Amino acid sequence: MTTLNKFMNIAIKEAKKTVLDIPVCALIVKEGEIISIKNNEREKTNSTCAHAEILAIGEANKKLNSWRLDNCDMFVTLEPCPMCAWAIISARIKNLYFGSYDTKYGAFFSSLNLKTLSNSKINVIGGIEEEQCNKLLDNYFWNLRNEKNT
């Protein structure tokens, strides 16, 4: 198992703990150590901006006492939306690895590419443990649809 798979599997395991929200987890790694790990909390906190990526960045900023997350990598189970993508770029994350592609809102490959609007040198790789990430999201939305139909 590669290091990329190892960290993505940790994110998947954590995302499975999500109860009310879409099961998305973001973790930030610096020098091989996880310094931040967060799940979506929009429903839990009634906060529009409580996406996993935003929360993980905030926690890492506090831990490092800096808004710059130079030499940090982010692993997220779903391709970031435009809000999160811009926060990731602004935080100067070095590498972004994600699992599922988001064909509606994905802001690095699928729908648009915000990287092209900046001078960011971020390296972005999608499809890490994609099948597991897709299954996690598919199960969530299947359950959500079935709850509404009962």
What residues are annotated to the active site? 53
Q: Backbone phi, then psi, for 13, in 5-degree steps?
A: -60, -45
| 3-state SS class at 122 | coil
| Residue pair 94/70 in contact by the 8 Å Cβ criterion | yes
Give the H or E element holding residue 139.
helix 130-148
Instruction: Say how many CA atoms lie within 13 Å of 105 toward its Cβ.
Output: 9
Query: Taking CA 136 as the corner, what is the angle to CA 132 and CA 141, rounded to the nearest 5 degrees?
Result: 145
| Residue pair 116/139 in contact by the 8 Å Cβ criterion | no
